[in-house]
Structure 1
Amino acid sequence: MRRGLEDSGRLHGTPPPRWARLAPVVAVVVLCCAQWLTPGAELGYFLAALPAVAAFSYGPLGTCAFAVLVLVLLGVPQLGVANARGTDLATVAFVGLLSVVISFVRRRRDDQLVSVRTVAEAAQLAVLPPVPDQVGPVHCSGLYRAAQRGTLVGGDLYDVRAGPYGVRAVVADVQGHGLAAVGTVAALLGAFREAVLDDPELAAVAARLDRRLVADAAAASIRHPELFATAVLLEFPPGLDLVRIVSCGHPPVLLLRGSTTAELDVEPGPPLGLGLTVPELPKVAEVPLLPGDRLLAHTDGVTEARDADGGFYPLASRIPVLADDSEGLVRAVWRDLEAFTAGGPSDDVAVLLLSLPAMETRPGVPWPGVP
């Protein structure tokens, strides 16, 4: 299953770190012990700052408890911490009250932020839901990482859908990245899901996606004078051990066969959004599949990622090294990519791994639309 979208806590608010909650308690103990061990020094008055520190990690009640504790330690001489009176105690009490107010405002702001982020996450997951482990007889594994921090969806997309003409998949990279490209991603996914059900030919699916982008660009010509996307479409026809592929200016699909990795030789067509016409529809390539074959489609956020010396990530040569990772190939590719770029690539990344078991290993897995 795709990580990155199913990591549901990624956009949610998180509690303060443990050290932030322990800091005021440790400070109380340390300052009191230091004061008792050095009676001539006046260290106890540093306790007056603790309610303000507690306000960053505790709620109003917790902050109030710290304020009361500080007032007791400073106002009771018998405790040997300090001997504050009158104006000093009033000042500490005012700081404590102000800290409680700050804590209340911070808690309300955090709750509102969690609510907004939860809604944003739900909306993004509705646009690009996780790909299931299996669609029809096709096994799927994918990973998505958006370049813009704090988002789940960027300018890349992929989807796998079953229909009357087989199982079809798309991996695409639209112009731009981050939240600005999410509208285009949603439009392309909607067009693809309709085409899976309606268009008998894979090239017609590409033409439908192209029309969608052309129409969107015409409707928003001021903001998007040139709206385009690269894409690769894959189709697993019912009952056949082969895959049909259409490439629209997209990085080539990798065929993983045993210990070897090779780029599939597919004649690329123009990117989507440039106005495909019937004579210019991209060619459909048919590739026979053997038992155990896997297909890895990806966006250029993977292969165009650079290391500190400016070198590109060598995906094809790294696949044999990563293929036996216990957590799965796509997860291994992402970890390797993070290490290669020292923290992760600066562009959106999508990786989709597909495999079709041999016919004799597929009993009871019907193709949609096939009796």
Structure 2
Amino acid sequence: MTDQKPPSSRTVLSSMPVVVMAIVAVADVVAGPGVGFLPLVSLGPAFSGLVGGWRRTAVFGLVALVLCVGLGLYDGLFEERRGFTAMAAVAGVTAIGVAAAVMRSRREAELASVRSIAEVAQRVLLRPVPLTAGPLQAAVSYTSAVAEARIGGDLYEVVASPHGIRVIVGDVQGKGLAAVETAALVLGAFREAAHDEPDLVGLGERLERSVARELEGEKFVTAILAEIGTRQEAVFLNYGHPAPMVVRRDGAVDFPRPPAHALPLGLGVHGTEGPKPYRVDFAPGDQLLLYTDGVTEARDDEGRFYPVGERAHLLKDPHAHRALEALRADLAQHSDGPPHDDAAMLLLRYHGHEEGKSVPTG
């Protein structure tokens, strides 16, 4: 036995004009001319205008008009004004429905154009990370808090520079287009400086200067910079961002934290000491998960935060993208309703040169 799927709301609305006009016609014939059901025939083209195009609405309007004439003759309503009043009601509702359908079609076309532009902006702003970079495999996940949006205020990038693999994950204060603009600024500065600056501290200072020049008021960007070279270690520079999660080859989980708290990008005052770099062992078989607070601050229906450290076992899949997708699905299941903040996750796996680049990444 096959399961019957419930009809979609659009399918139900599409069938409503026929159903409504049939019910009105039957009710009018049964009740007779004294009840006054006839003007309700106009509900047919009214419902058609909700989901159909203007041509479909016009066709249903014509059908409703013919039905109105037939029922009016049957009831003898054209001997008085009621029949003509019902026809005028049907014609008026049909005209309004056609106009509404035309306007809706134009809005849908405009929305499709905006979405197309947004997808291009996404590819420019948040480019796909490389599947492999040196000894690393990479996978990324991004969930926007804005309905049907694909980008927001979170940012990430992986750059293979002459000085090692350099990574940034950040979170812009606020949401909407202003946050997207700031994210574009930070990513542009990072992509340029990642190739030029010989050390991570210099990269961070250059990024701080770029952000400070552009941001106004008390706007800021939390970010974590990472550099993975040839020494089987990761160097971090943390600007007020959640600590990364390191999953060791044996399954042990660690959240290495900076030696001292540092302000986010954009809040650094002249003369204030920036963050100190700190090093963490990162060897073949280890995994590094960088994320934004949209992950750790996601709450379930009882108000509990998402325990990302307890979910490290979900990253066991040999395909990096499938592993990260499993973590993302678990995060969505944990959350109570739609996300309240953007959530970005960047997974880096140290597979080592000796294991080659034949390892699939999904």
Does TM, normalized by the shorter one, top 0.5? yes
Query: Which among 94, 111, 114 is matched to residue 116 of structure 1?
Result: 114
| Shift in alpha-carbon separation, 1:334–1:268, aligned structure 2, 3 A | farther
Could you say what secondary structure the match of 1:157 adopts? strand
1:300–1:136 distance in 2 versus 1, CA, 3 Å:
same
CA separation in 2, counterparts of 1:82 and 1:17?
A: 37
* Secondary structure of 2:50 counterpart: coil
- Determine helix, strand or coil for the equivalent of 1:76: helix
Equivalent in the alignment of 1:312: 305
1:285 aligns with 2:278: yes
Given the superposition, is the C-alpha separation of residues 139 and 229 from structure 1 closer, same or farther in structure 2, using an over 3 Å criterion? Answer: same
Aligned counterparts of 1:330 and 1:20: Cα–Cα separation in 2: 39
Q: How does 1:331-346 map to 2 (within 5 A)?
A: 331-346=325-340
| 1:58 is the counterpart of 2:39 | no
Q: Report what 2:142 is aligned to.
A: 144
Does the aligned pair in 2 maintain the 1:131–1:140 contact within 8 Å?
yes
Provide the aligned C-alpha RMSD in A. Answer: 3.2
Residue 206 of structure 2 corresponds to which residue in structure 1? 208
Partners in 2 of 1:347 and 1:211 — Cα distance? 27
Structure 1 counterpart of 2:224, from 205, 217, 232: 232
Aligned twin of 1:252: 243
CA 319–202 in structure 1, closer or farther in 2 if over 3 Å, else same: same
AA in 2 matched with 1:52: A
Judged with a 3 Å threshold, the aligned counterparts in structure 2 of structure 1 residues 155 and 227 are, in CA distance, closer, same or farther, namely: same
- Distance (Å, rounded) in 2 between the aligned partners of 1:178 and 1:60: 34
Tell me how far 1:268 sits from its aligned partner. 4.6
How does 1:139-218 map onto structure 2 within 5 Å? 139-217=137-215
Q: Any gaps of 5 or more consecutive residues in structure 1?
A: 1-14, 218-223, 366-371
User: Does the CA-based 8 Å contact 2:136-2:352 persist in structure 1?
Assistant: no
Return closer, same or farther for 1:312/1:81 CA change in 2, 3 Å cut-off. Answer: farther
| 2:4 corresponding residue in structure 1 | none
State, as a whole percentage, how many aligned pairs show the same letter. Answer: 37
Structure 2, gaps ≥5 residues long: 1-7
Residue 96 to residue 228, structure 1, CA distance change in 2 (3 Å): closer
**Structure 1 residues 316 and 71, CA, compared in 2 at 3 Å: closer, same or farther?**
same
Superposed, 1:50-89 pairs within 5 Å as 50-76=44-70, 85-89=83-87
The TM-score, its normalising length taken from structure 1, stands at 0.80
Q: Is the 8 A contact 2:268 2:274 kept in 1?
A: no
From 20, 26, 30, give the equivalent of 2:13: 20
SS of 2:155 mapped into structure 1: strand
Contact 1:254 1:262 in 2 (8 A): yes
* Offset of residue 293 of structure 1: 1.3
Report what 1:349 is aligned to: 343
* C-alpha deviation, 1:86, in angstroms: 3.6
Pairwise CA distance, 1:69: 1.0
- Structure 1 residues 16, 64: CA separation in 2 closer, same or farther (over 3 Å shift)? farther
Q: Which moved more, 1:203-212 or 1:283-292?
A: 283-292
* Residues 241-271 of structure 1: per-residue CA shift (max 9 Å, x gap): 3322222221111111233222124435522
CA distance in 2, matches of 1:81, 1:55: 28
Q: Give 1:201 deviation, angstroms.
A: 0.5
Deviation at 1:186, TM superposition (A): 1.1
